[in-house]
Structure 1
Amino acid sequence: MNASEALRGLWLQAGLPEEALGFAQLTGADPVLPSSFAVGTAAQSTIAAAALAACELGHQRGAARQTVSVDMAHAALECTGWFSLDGRVPELWDAFSGLYRAADGWVRIHANFAHHREGALRLLGLDPQGAQRADAQAAMLQWKAIDFEDAAAAEGLVATALRRFDDWDATPQGQALVGQPLFTIERIGDAPPLALAPLAAGRRPLAGVRVLDLTRILAGPVGGRALAAYGADVMLINSPHLPNIEAIADTSRGKLSAHVDLKTAEGSRTLTGLLADAHVFVQGYRPGGLAALGFGAADTSRIRPGIVHVSLTAYGTSGPWARRRGFDSLVQTAMGFNHAEGDAKGDGQPRPLPMQILDEATGYLIAMGAAAALWRQQREGGSWHVQVSLAQTGRWLRGLGRVEGGLGAAVPDRTPYLETSASGFGELCGLRHSAQLGRTPAEWTRPSVPPGTDAAVWP
């Protein structure tokens, strides 16, 4: 499937007008990064879908349609998430993150957060204070891969066994995903259309749209950043007690950033007040986590009738893993991508995809889904719930087909696509947004700032 066909499928599934597809201009073809999967197509089509949906909402608000141009090499490089701070390229993986040989296969551990790292090491029978990676590898050899995966999940940790595609397809979760679409946009309540002023000349298509971004790693922040590039006022809400990874510097471009502690009455009141004037609410916490605090989809639609509530999960909304924590690297491993890449290489070594494309593509599906649901809300009224998951995106990526000789592709030079800006983290160099709008360029007008920099009030 080529990128235009992929975009068309996304667009029609979202229920958006077919005639708008004529304004998309896609250039380039896979392979653009070393992979046997169509990662360039996945990047380009989801970015184009997000930008085109934002523009269609602008059209609904009175603006003429405009072209959306996306080059595949630029899109793929943007989805690598590369950035530097004051000339330093951060190390994005903890020393204990990665693949380990088990007694009968492989296990991937995600250890970027201290509590996940320490929990995994204790499960291996090691002292987190003195353990080295070699110790973890030796200990893992005493475990069967599935046994460690199950034990980690029982402890709320994040680790998965390496599977082949056919192994994954035979699991109850793999079978549950077969019946789930790539994303859903569902009306969940009645409400009049939310007030959105007609779009003034020269304004970006999402100008005046207020988005609450309650996400952390990585898909949700990418989705919020895209909405900010198209003109939305995006407010990232972090707990003052939770850790973050350095990628927050890159994904916070264009956003306000406030601290709200939802475990306090004051924090709950603050978020309720923000929600009363919001158009979109995006959340990526573990399934049920925000609902337990009074901010699930049913709650937000009651507090703010007409809201577009976007929910992100790792493994979908049904099946035995529906409530399981997960990250892109783990979903790749569990679903068969790492094995398939290694098999295509022919050396028997599991290989990750060249970027966290499940996160990145899902992030742009979040942005597309939010804009599409808001487009429908403006036409039909109602409150809306958009649901996406990394595993559903994985199924879609697999369905795009394989790229013969793709692992031999050379990584393009990112230099022509870089931009540098001041930020609250230091001088930030990152990829410009790859969707070029014909009339109102996508850009980040607010600098990236650390969590808690801004007051929790709308500008």
Structure 2
Amino acid sequence: MTEPARKLPLEGIRVIDVSQVMAGPFACMLLGDLGADVIKVEPPTGDQTRSSMGFKMKGDDSLGFIAMNRNKRSIVIDLKSEEGRETYLKLVETADVVIENYRPGALSRLGVGYDVVSKINPKIIYASISGFGQSGPWWERPGFDLMAQAACGVMSITGHPDSPPTKAGAPVADIGCSLFTVYAVLSAYIGREKSGEGQYIDASLYEAGLSFAVWDICDYWGTGRIPGRIGTGNRMAAPYQAVQASDGHFVFGANNDRAFGKLCALLERPDLVDHPDYVTNAKRLEHREALIVELEKSFRTRTREEWVETLLAAGIPAGPILDYAEALGNEHAQARGMVMPIDHPVEGRVNNIGFPVKLMGTPQEVRRHPPLLDEHREEILAEIGLARQGASEDA
């Protein structure tokens, strides 16, 4: 007898997504992937990512919007209108979670902030995402990934020693804040199951970026030296970075004495093992640049692929440096489902980035395509007990 399918873990939880662009929408998408009913509340012009990402599609929505808004429903509510605010507050009465990323204080000035929402729904878990948090001297600063990376120190350590400060290629502050917000929301929800009480969550891109810099901050606290840019190197171990082969670069790590000895034997460089500048990890860190010059004398004799295979066979971590065509097109990405085609009512079959973690007992699925603007107005209004309304009444 076949066992009935288990419900997704967040099934029955309603999340109101009052956010735009990346940090908020990505967090809400992750909750939707886990089964939550995510209702995306959009202004009359829609989430600005629908039209601002620069990728020309068949319809009005960009590929960037499609990538961050699966498993959601959309309703347009104009929070600047009295009728819109009434509709919104009626909706949050039915919710478990609200996630918003307006400028700090903006929703309170409109009369729909946490101070109001928590009175009509005391069990609400309410997360505000901003650039620098809801308090402190910088609380009013605009919240963009670039500004957060600059302020939290990430840009100061990214790049090579002779290069200017460099933004991390991926939006680490935005996505990091998304992940910390999901962790906080789920923790608050578990806590509510015990206490019966909701709570307010203050999440910021700035603090997310700071939290990622564990090695660099510990190095600063431990030595008193301000960390600089070290390219692809590691603050705590050497050799552990990208190196030059005959046809390009690859990465490897021999980040302890045993692995370094194994590497030197493999390269037939016994002179390096007992060299006074390389005999310990501390010494190798101190003389990293000279060590890499010596190692690359050997690495430049063969191709990247040959070295990666040789090092892996010897038990030394190594890997190729892939561009996105290679990272998405390789057999491992395909086997892990990281290119996930979804059906869209306007665009047809569109690729999405796959689920970043896999729940074996309750596997995630795309239950809903990324919504068209205001697509679910009538069914959402019906669910909260409001009369059937035209699509533009709150717009």
TM-score bin, normalised by smaller chain: 0.5 to 0.7
Look up the match of 2:132: 315
Give the aligned residue type for 2:43.
S
Shifted more, 269-278 versus 218-227: the winner is 269-278
Inter-CA distance 388–414: structure 2 relative to 1 (3 Å threshold): same
Look up the match of 2:40: 236
Look up the match of 1:327: 144
Tell me the distance in 1 between the aligned counterparts of 2:6 and 2:156: 48
Q: Is contact 1:250-1:428 (8 Å) kept?
A: no
Matched residue of 1:422: which SS? strand
Superposition deviation, residue 217 in structure 1 = 2.1
Give the aligned residue type for 1:419.
M
* Alignment partner of 1:337 is 2:161: no
- Of 89, 92, 97, 1:280 maps to 97
Q: Is contact 1:257-1:453 (8 Å) kept?
A: yes
Give the TM-score taking structure 1 as reference length. Answer: 0.53
Map residues 203-282 of structure 1 onto 2, 5 A cutoff.
203-241=7-45, 244-245=48-49, 246=62, 247-282=64-99
- Of 331, 337, 343, 1:422 maps to 343
Look up the match of 2:363: 441
* Alignment partner of 1:293 is 2:104: no
Superposition deviation, residue 318 in structure 1 = 2.6
Superposition deviation, residue 201 in structure 1 = 5.7
Tell me the distance in 1 between the aligned counterparts of 2:198 and 2:156: 41
Give the aligned residue type for 1:240.
P
Look up the match of 1:453: 375
Q: Is contact 2:153-2:210 (8 Å) kept?
A: no
Tell me the distance in 2 between the aligned counterparts of 1:424 and 1:349: 45
Tell me the distance in 2 between the aligned counterparts of 1:207 and 1:364: 19
Q: Is contact 1:207-1:232 (8 Å) kept?
A: yes
- Of 407, 413, 438, 2:327 maps to 413
Superposition deviation, residue 237 in structure 1 = 0.7
Look up the match of 1:365: 180
Give the aligned residue type for 2:140.
R
Matched residue of 1:377: which SS? helix
Map residues 37-56 of structure 1 onto 2, 5 A cutoff.
none
When Rg is computed on C-alpha atoms for both structures, the one with the higher figure is: 2
Residue identity (%): 26
Q: Is contact 2:189-2:198 (8 Å) kept?
A: no
Tell me the distance in 2 between the aligned counterparts of 1:269 and 1:281: 16
Tell me the distance in 2 between the aligned counterparts of 1:458 and 1:274: 11
Inter-CA distance 428–458: structure 2 relative to 1 (3 Å threshold): farther
Tell me the distance in 1 between the aligned counterparts of 2:185 and 2:158: 32
Matched residue of 2:151: which SS? helix
Look up the match of 1:116: none
Note the alpha carbon deviations across 1:68-114, whole angstroms, 9 max, x for none: xxxxxxxxxxxxxxxxxxxxxxxxxxxxxxxxxxxxxxxxxxxxxxx
Tell me the distance in 2 between the aligned counterparts of 1:207 and 1:357: 29
Matched residue of 2:344: which SS? coil
Superposition deviation, residue 297 in structure 1 = 1.6
Look up the match of 2:197: 382
Tell me the distance in 2 between the aligned counterparts of 1:400 and 1:419: 34
Extract unaligned runs of 5+ from structure 2.
50-61, 217-229, 235-239, 243-249, 252-320, 384-395
Note the alpha carbon deviations across 1:308-329, whole angstroms, 9 max, x for none: 1111110123322111112112
Superposition deviation, residue 274 in structure 1 = 0.8
Q: Is contact 1:338-1:350 (8 Å) kept?
A: yes
Matched residue of 2:209: which SS? helix
Q: Is contact 2:16-2:92 (8 Å) kept?
A: yes
Q: Is contact 1:425-1:449 (8 Å) kept?
A: no
Tell me the distance in 2 between the aligned counterparts of 1:376 and 1:444: 28
* Alignment partner of 1:352 is 2:183: no
Tell me the distance in 1 between the aligned counterparts of 2:34 and 2:138: 34
Matched residue of 2:140: which SS? coil
Note the alpha carbon deviations across 1:2-40, whole angstroms, 9 max, x for none: xxxxxxxxxxxxxxxxxxxxxxxxxxxxxxxxxxxxxxx
Map residues 124-203 of structure 1 onto 2, 5 A cutoff.
202-203=6-7
Shifted more, 345-354 versus 295-304: the winner is 345-354
| Cα RMSD for the two superposed structures | 2.1
- Of 188, 207, 221, 1:392 maps to 207
Note the alpha carbon deviations across 1:136-156, whole angstroms, 9 max, x for none: xxxxxxxxxxxxxxxxxxxxx
Inter-CA distance 424–369: structure 2 relative to 1 (3 Å threshold): farther
Tell me the distance in 2 between the aligned counterparts of 1:356 and 1:413: 18
Matched residue of 2:158: which SS? helix
Give the aligned residue type for 1:206.
L
Matched residue of 2:178: which SS? helix
Tell me the distance in 1 between the aligned counterparts of 2:46 and 2:241: 39
Matched residue of 1:204: which SS? coil
Superposition deviation, residue 347 in structure 1 = 3.2
Q: Is contact 2:46-2:76 (8 Å) kept?
A: no
